Amino acid sequence: MTFTFHPASPADLETLVALRIAALRESLERVGRFTPERARARFIESFRPEHTRLIRVGEALAGCVAFGPREPGWEIEHFYLDPAFQGAGLGGAVMAALLAEVDSAGREVRLTVLRDSPANRFYARFGFEETGREGVDIFYRRVALT
């Protein structure tokens, strides 16, 4: 699926909170952690617009991803796709683009996923390896492919 990245701004906050809730609600409910207030607060406390990219398919907002430096490498956060765009290969295309950037820089990348989320299988397909668990979170790391 063809997509483009666009920079996010602080003005995108409420739209991206709604996107997060739509994308994660089912997974958060599965681990007993969903409330709209908690989902909103979690996003707000870690929203870094300078590292957040909007994912567009044509004119439609299909998702977002925060991708930026966090020592010792890079970090992927808030990778959400609108449910209407899930299951069509968009997530894989976005991930391939992000990993190409990381690999060209020779850096590792880290991310955190909810346990029992289908995203765990998705990240394993891209070479992420589990590095630990805490509460409902699973931590992953992928070394750069050179």
CA distance 27 to 34: 8
CA distance 64 to 79: 6
pLDDT above 70 covers what percent of the chain?
Answer: 97
Q: What is the pLDDT of residue 88?
A: 93
79 touches 123 (CB < 8 A): no
Q: Enumerate domains of the chain plus CATH numbers.
A: 4-105 (3.40.630.30)
pLDDT band of 31, cuts 50, 70, 90: low
Tens digit of pLDDT for each residue in 104-131?
989 999 999 988 888 899 999 999 999 9
Q: Is the pTM of this model over 0.85?
A: yes
CA distance 26 to 117: 9
Tens digit of pLDDT for each residue in 92-102?
999 999 999 99
